Amino acid sequence: MLKIWISGSNGQIGKAINSVLEPLQFEVFNTDKDEVDIADVDEVFRFGEVNRPDIIINCSGVTDMDYCEANPKEAYRVNAIGARNLSIVARKIDAKIVQISTDDVFDGKSTKPYKEFDTPNPRTVYGKSKLAGENYVKEFTHKHFVIRSTWVYGKGNNYIFDLLEAVKTGKPVAVAADQFGAPTSAKELAKFVLHIVSGREYGTYHATCKGTCSRYAYAKEILKMTGKTAKLKAVPTLESDLTSVRPAYAVLDGFIMDIVHVYEFLSWKESLEEFLREEGLYEQ
């Protein structure tokens, strides 16, 4: 039986990978920062060498962008050094490694979707530390999958729950009309991760649900599907509630996925509906 180590298993992507793994035949090792702090090289080596997983999926991260700006050392410690440690041990035990990364490695100034080989130019500490993590993984192991996604939601802290909480106040919510992305369910991303990792099509992938929308259109769709009648105001990012620092253009082109035909994502609206139904929030 193949052995999988999921680091960051309490996070929304870690949980989604576990839920997709459930019916499959794998031996699963779940750890989060209380069990194995990925930034601690000794802990990572001890765990990796004792358990010898065939696959390591790094879903750990410091993901709060404002926190990263205020605590750059901690952002780099986990997002960069942590990824380095996992990739060194992956190499040592000949495991494949999946590094979950982000559109934030780009500057968001483009007007067309970013391909895998476009030059990164992160503007935030979060984006810079994630890019450093990607680079370490590429440097230290060749059996890697660097998977960049965007606007991910699942069981955890995410934009959907923040918005639904904000509209409870009855006040209008200001939503950025100048941010563009592809809302992606953690479950869809998890299905892709488990599919790709079973093969040998190594490298970097842009992996998001299909289609693109503005943050404002996304928020409107969430309210429509959940039957809420709250008022939204379309504003520029800097005046928006809930998402203050984001690249304006977070659209990723799944160029390599199209070439190697590894997977077909659902559209963002289909996945959103599926998620809201599963959460008991769909009201149409």
Give the CB-side neighbour count of residue 258, counting CA atoms within 13 A. Answer: 8
Q: Which of 30, 102, 124, 185 binds ligand NAP (CB under 6 A)?
A: 102
Residue of 104, 135, 107 lying closest to 121 (CA atoms): 107
Rounded least distance, CB 50 to ligand NAP, Å? 17
User: Distance from CA of residue 93 to its chain's centroid?
Assistant: 26
Find the shortest distance in angstroms from Cβ 38 to ligand NAP: 4
- Check if the beta carbon of residue 183 is closer than 8 Å to that of residue 225: no
* Binding flag, residue 152, ligand NAP (CB under 6 A): yes
Establish if 207 lies at the interface with ligand NAP (CB under 6 A): no
Torsion from C-alpha of 180, 20, 62, 270, nearest 10 degrees? 10
Contact in structure between 130 and 61 (CB atoms under 8 Å): yes
Task: Work out whether 32 is an interface residue with ligand NAP (CB under 6 A).
Answer: yes
Nearer to ligand NAP, 104 or 166 (CB): 104
Least gap, CB of 40 to ligand NAP (angstroms): 8
Nearer to ligand NAP, 133 or 223 (CB): 133
60 interacts with ligand NAP by CB under 6 A:
yes
DSSP 58-74: E------HHHHHH-HHH
Shortest Å distance, C-beta 212 to ligand NAP = 15
Residue 30 found at the interface with ligand NAP (CB under 6 A): no
Cβ closest to ligand NAP, residue 172 vs residue 253: 253
Q: What is the rounded CA–CA span in Å between residue 209 and residue 193?
A: 13
Q: How far is the CB of 231 from ligand NAP (least distance, A)?
A: 26
Distance of CA 254 to the CA centre of its chain: 15
Task: Quote the least distance from Cβ 162 to ligand NAP, whole Å.
Answer: 12
Determine if 11 is a binding residue for ligand NAP (CB under 6 A): yes
* Count of chain residues binding ligand NAP (CB under 6 A): 28
Q: What is the largest CA-CA distance in the chain?
A: 55
Q: Which stretch binds ligand NAP (CB under 6 A): 9-17, 165-173, 198-206, 239-247?
A: 9-17
Q: What is the DSSP string of 216-243?
A: HHHHHHHHHHTT----EEEE-GGG-SS-
Binding site for ligand NAP (CB under 6 A): 7-8, 10-14, 32-33, 37-39, 59-63, 78, 82, 100-102, 130, 149-152, 156
